[in-house]
């Protein structure tokens, strides 16, 4: 356990972000490694994995509901120095993770084929997407347990176990991916399905490994069978905070589905180019995502300890860090977008689409970084509704006009990218206004906060 309510805020952010950055980078490598090896199977294979990977946004939405709620309530308990309540909340989050993970597994497998057919540009791409999802859906189902455990550890300021486990599992995935995809050394090549198999095996090892941490005698948070009886009041408390944050990612998943539907007439190359571009953006955003995951426990513990100025200082320092990192990433996407896409595909059509996508959307990187930090601050203060509102506004600005424009003669994909840039700027303005309001309302600790 690490007390984040004393000492320099900047130091806490840098230390926790460094741990989280390693974790997030290696988690992102899951997708990039699969995409790299699958790219050697052809454009349709890349499109299939990209389409299948869109379901990860739905998982991200669901696990975000769980993870944000867990981090917030446990960090508040830690700020109050209430160890018993923190441990109870930790155990309840694990039960909730088990329930949601099993439900996702059943529903995901049932929807696997219809989803693949609906989103793919041709029958072969749909078949490949279905093969990939058969193994990737169970891998994503295991993420619920992994997120619940990691979120609780972040809440108490312990980032090291998650970093070690994530790093090790990615190395396992790196080794297994080419073996299972191409049959190196075994003579049994599974193709795109092999990419998902390697992820499933690696994540399963990670879940078992991280679980052992909570059985150690010196662990601050421990599994307690007596705390496993479902407490609906605590589930409601966690989900009340997590649901709006989860809906943010659900909105993102809806956006991805709309874009992929619009790109169908442009063929598999366009879908592959957009899919690769999205993965490059995800990779580039890892420092800010890591920073956001660090902001929530740092600000959350100080919020629980009723230290208003330290909460504000956390946002100020994190905002400067996010803006600086995203500015550098934007420059890279302006200078060499084709080179970044070319790492994963040699198809000229895919590279052209991905290059144009990166060059245009890079104009909103700094704004997106600040939005992500603001979202983490809303989480830390236990009110994620403002983030949901701003994400909903952004979605409405992009989704509805995109569908209408796609029916116009002469429609081009870059119309959507430009529209997205404008929507992000609107979201940033709204986020800053709402965050200022939350500071004035929720940091007045002389009154009771509900």
CB atoms inside a 10 Å sphere around CB 384: 27
- 58 vs 250: CA distance, rounded Å: 6
- Rounded Cα gap, residues 404 and 420, in angstroms: 15
pLDDT of the residue at 448:
41
> Residue 1 domain-assigned?
no
Contact yes or no for 362/341 (Cβ under 8 A): no
The C-alpha atoms of residue 315 and residue 298 are separated, in whole angstroms, by 10
- Are 211 and 165 spatial neighbours (Cβ–Cβ below 8 Å)? no
In a domain, 3, yes or no: no
Joined tokens for residue 286: 């890892």
Tally of residues, the chain: 450
Q: CB neighbours of 144 closer than 8 A, spacing ≥ 6?
A: 62, 63, 66, 97, 98, 100, 101, 104
The count of structural domains within the chain is: 1
Q: What angle do CA 40, 44, 49 make, to 5 degrees?
A: 80
48 within 8 A of 120, measured Cβ to Cβ? yes
Evaluate whether residue 260 is within a structural domain.
yes
Pairwise CA distance, residues 420 & 422, whole Å: 5
Instruction: Report yes or no on 171 lying in a domain.
Output: yes
Range of the domain at 222: 9-442
Checking phi first, is residue 183 left (phi over 0); if not, alpha (psi -120 to 50) or beta? Answer: left
pLDDT of residue 445: 66
Residue 77 domain-assigned (yes or no) = yes
C-alpha torsion sign, points 351, 354, 356, 359 = negative
Query: What string of pLDDT tens digits covers the 450 residues of the chain?
Result: 566 777 777 777 777 676 666 666 666 666 666 667 887 888 788 778 877 766 776 787 788 778 878 888 888 888 888 888 989 999 999 999 999 999 999 999 999 989 888 878 788 888 988 889 999 999 989 989 988 898 888 788 777 787 788 788 888 888 898 999 999 888 888 988 898 899 899 999 999 999 998 987 778 889 988 999 999 899 988 888 877 767 766 777 777 778 877 877 888 788 788 888 887 887 788 888 778 777 878 888 888 888 888 889 899 989 998 999 899 999 999 888 888 888 877 888 888 888 888 999 999 999 999 998 998 898 888 887 888 899 889 888 988 898 888 888 888 888 988 999 999 999 999 999 999 999 998 887 654 443
For residue 449, what pLDDT is reported? Answer: 41
CA distance 351 to 46: 12
Q: Note whether residue 2 is domain-resident.
A: no
How far apart (Å, rounded) are the C-alpha atoms in residues 77 and 305?
A: 9
Count the Cβ atoms, other than its own, within 10 Å of residue 213: 18
CA distance 145 to 169: 15
Whether 20 is covered by a domain: the verdict is yes
How far is it, in rounded angstroms, from Cα 184 to Cα 416? 41
Token reading at 320: 């400067």
Phi, psi of 403 (to 5 degrees): -60, -40
Distances (CA, A) of 120 to 18, 28, 44, 418: 38, 24, 9, 24
- Buried b / exposed e over 416-437, threshold 16 CB at 10 Å, is bbebbbebbeebbebbeebbee
Tokens 């959350």 found at: 300
At residue 435's C-alpha, the angle toward residues 90 and 241, to 5°, is 25
The Cα–Cα gap between 64 and 70 comes to 9
Q: How many Å apart are CA 5 and CA 303, to the nearest integer?
A: 9
pLDDT of residue 215: 86
Tokens of 300: 């959350």
Please compute Rg for the chain using Cα positions.
Answer: 21
Residue 447 lies in a domain: no
Residue 339 CB partners (closer than 8 Å, separation 6+)? none
C-alpha span between 252 and 395 (Å, rounded): 8
């Amino acid at each position: 356990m690490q007390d984040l309510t004393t000492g320099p805020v900047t130091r806490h952010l840098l230390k926790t972000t460094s741990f989280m950055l390693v974790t997030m980078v290696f988690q992102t490598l899951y997708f990039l490694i699969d995409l790299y090896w699958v790219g050697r199977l052809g454009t349709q294979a890349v499109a299939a994995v990209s389409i299948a990977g869109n379901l990860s946004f739905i998982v991200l939405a669901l696990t975000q509901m769980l993870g944000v709620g867990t981090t917030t309530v446990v960090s508040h308990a830690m700020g109050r120095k209430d160890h018993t309540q923190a441990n109870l909340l930790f155990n309840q989050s694990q039960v909730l993770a088990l329930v949601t993970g099993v439900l996702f597994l059943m529903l995901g497998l049932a929807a696997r084929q219809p989803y693949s057919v609906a989103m793919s540009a041709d029958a072969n791409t749909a078949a490949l997407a279905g093969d990939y999802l058969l193994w990737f859906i169970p891998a994503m189902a295991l993420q619920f347990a992994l997120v619940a455990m990691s979120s609780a550890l972040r809440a108490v300021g312990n980032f090291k176990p998650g970093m070690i486990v994530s790093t090790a599992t990615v190395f396992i995935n790196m080794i297994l991916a080419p073996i299972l995809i191409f049959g190196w050394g075994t003579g049994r090549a599974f193709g795109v399905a092999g990419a998902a198999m390697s992820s499933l095996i690696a994540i399963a090892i990670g879940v078992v490994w991280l679980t052992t941490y909570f059985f150690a005698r010196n662990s601050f948070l421990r599994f307690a069978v007596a705390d496993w009886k479902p407490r609906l009041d605590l589930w409601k408390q966690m989900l009340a905070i997590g649901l709006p944050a989860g809906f943010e990612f659900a909105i993102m998943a809806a956006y991805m589905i709309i874009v992929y539907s619009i790109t169908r007439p442009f063929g598999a190359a366009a879908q592959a180019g957009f899919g690769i571009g999205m993965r490059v953006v995800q990779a580039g955003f890892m420092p800010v995502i890591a920073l956001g995951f660090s902001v929530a426990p740092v600000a959350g513990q100080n919020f629980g300890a009723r230290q208003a100025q330290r909460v504000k200082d956390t946002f100020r320092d994190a905002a400067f860090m996010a803006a600086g990192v995203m500015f550098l990433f934007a420059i890279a996407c302006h200078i060499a977008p084709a080179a970044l896409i070319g790492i994963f595909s040699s198809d000229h059509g895919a590279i052209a689409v991905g290059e144009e996508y990166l060059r245009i959307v890079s104009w909103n990187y700094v704004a997106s970084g600040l939005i992500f930090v603001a979202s983490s601050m809303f989480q830390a203060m236990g009110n994620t509704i403002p983030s949901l509102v701003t994400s909903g506004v952004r979605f409405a600005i992009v989704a509805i006009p995109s569908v209408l424009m796609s029916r116009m003669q002469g429609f081009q994909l870059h119309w959507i990218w430009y529209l997205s840039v404008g929507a992000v700027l609107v979201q940033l303005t709204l986020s800053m206004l709402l965050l200022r309001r939350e500071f004035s309302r929720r940091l007045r600790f002389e009154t009771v906060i509900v």
